[in-house]
Chain A
Amino acid sequence: MKPLQRVLLAHGGGGRLTRQLVEELFLPALENPFLATLTDGALLPELPPGRPALTTDAFVVDPPVFAGGDLGYLSICGTVNDLAMVGARPLYLTWALVLEEGAEGALVATCTEGAARAAAEAGVAVVAGDTKVGPRGKGDRLFAVTAGLGVAPPGRDLRDDRIRPGDVVIASGPLGDHGATVMAHRHGLDAPHLASDCRPLSGLVEALCDSGAAVHSLHDPTRGGAVAICHEVAGRSGLRVRLVETDLPIRPEVATVCDLLGLEALSLACEGRLLAWVDGGHAELAVAAMQAHPDGVEAAVVGRMEELPAGAPPVLLETAVGGERPLDLLSGHELPRIC
Chain B
Amino acid sequence: MTPTAGYSDPRALAALIAKLREVTCGLDRKLTFMEVCGTHTHSVAKAGLRRMMPPAVRLISGPGCPVCVTPVDYLDRALALAVLPDTIVCTFGDLMRVPSSGASLEQARAEGAQVEVVYSPRDALELARRRAEARVVFLAVGFETTAPTIAGALAEAEADRVTNFFLLPGNKTMPQVMRVLVDDQELEVHGFLLPGHVSVITGWRMFSFLADEFGIPGVVTGFTPTDVAQGVLALARQAADGHATIANQYGRVVTAEGNPQARRLVDRFFEPADSAWRGFGVVPGSGLGLKPEWAHRDASLISVELPAPREPVGCRCGEVLRGVVDPPECPLFASGCDPELPVGACMVSSEGTCSAWYRHERWAGAGA
Contact = CB atoms under 8 A, between A and B. Distances in A.
Interface of A: 187, 246, 252, 255-256, 259, 261-262, 309-313, 316-317, 319-326, 328, 331-332, 335-339
B367 A312 contact: yes
Contacts of A319: 46-48, 225
Given A338-B94, A338-B141, A339-B145, A324 B368 contact: yes
Given A336-B119, A338-B349, A321 B13 contact: yes
B349 A337 contact: yes
Contact of B351 (A187, A310, A331, A337): A337
Interface string B95-130: 111000000001000000000010100000000000
B94 A311 contact: no
B351 A323 contact: no
Nearest to B360: A325
Given A313-B368, A323-B48, A332-B340, A339 B38 contact: yes
A335 B97 contact: yes
Nearest to B3: A256
Chain B CB count within 10 A is highest, among A255, A313, A317, for A313
Contact of A322 (B14, B67, B93, B143): B14
B225 A321 contact: yes
A202 to B, nearest CB: 34
Interface string B345-368: 000111100000011111100111
Instruction: Give the size category of B's interface with A.
Output: 35 or more
B66 A322 contact: no
Nearest to A328: B359
A324 B48 contact: yes
A187 B118 CA distance: 9
A337 B142 contact: no
A246 B11 CA distance: 13
B66 A339 contact: yes
Contact of A331 (B39, B46, B338, B361): B338
B68 to A, nearest CB: 11
For the complex of A and B, the 10 pairs showing the least CB-CB separation, nearest first, are A323-B48, A331-B339, A311-B366, A335-B93, A336-B93, A325-B48, A328-B359, A321-B225, A309-B367, A338-B92
B119 A328 contact: no
B251 interface: no
Nearest to B367: A309
16 contacts: A187-B119, A255-B2, A311-B367, A312-B366, A313-B368, A317-B48, A321-B13, A321-B52, A322-B13, A323-B51, A326-B359, A331-B338, A337-B92, A337-B350, A337-B351, A338-B141
Contacts of B49: 321, 323
Given A335-B349, A338-B142, A323 B93 contact: no
B8 interface: yes
A309 B368 CA distance: 8
Interface string B316-350: 00000000000000000000001110000000111
B226 A321 contact: yes
Given A326-B363, A336-B119, 18 more contacts: A262-B350, A309-B366, A312-B367, A313-B368, A320-B225, A321-B8, A321-B13, A322-B52, A323-B51, A323-B52, A323-B225, A325-B361, A328-B358, A328-B360, A338-B38, A338-B94, A338-B351, A339-B142
B363 A311 contact: yes
Contact of A336 (B45, B94, B106, B368): B94
B125 to A, nearest CB: 14
Contacts of B39: 339
A319 B10 CA distance: 9
Contacts of A336: 92-94, 117, 119
A316 B47 CA distance: 12
Contact of B360 (A326, A332, A337): A326
Contacts of B93: 262, 335-337
B114 to A, nearest CB: 16
Contacts of A337: 38, 42, 92-94, 349-351
Contacts of B143: 339
Nearest to B39: A339
Interface-centre pick from A262, A321, A323 (highest chain B CB count, 10 A): A321
Contacts of A187: 119
B252 to A, nearest CB: 17
B197 interface: yes
Most interface-central of B8, B14, B117, B350 (chain A CB within 10 A)? B350
A227 to B, nearest CB: 11
Contacts of A313: 363, 366, 368
A26 to B, nearest CB: 36
B146 interface: yes
A256 B2 contact: yes
Contacts of A316: 368
B1 interface: yes
Contacts of B92: 336-338
Contacts of A246: 10
Contacts of B46: 319, 325
Nearest to B342: A331
B94 A335 contact: yes
Contacts of A322: 10, 13-14, 52
A335 B105 CA distance: 13
Contacts of A261: 119
A325 B45 contact: yes
A321 B368 CA distance: 17
B196 to A, nearest CB: 11
A289 B1 CA distance: 28
A326 B119 CA distance: 28
Nearest to B347: A331
A152 to B, nearest CB: 36
Question: Which of A261, A311, A320, A325 has its CB near the most chain B CB atoms (within 10 A)?
Answer: A325
B94 A324 contact: no
Pick the most buried of B66, B142, B339, B348: most chain A CB atoms within 10 A of its CB: B339
Given A312-B367, A325-B360, A332-B340, A320 B10 contact: yes
Nearest to A261: B119
A321 B6 CA distance: 11
A316 B361 CA distance: 11
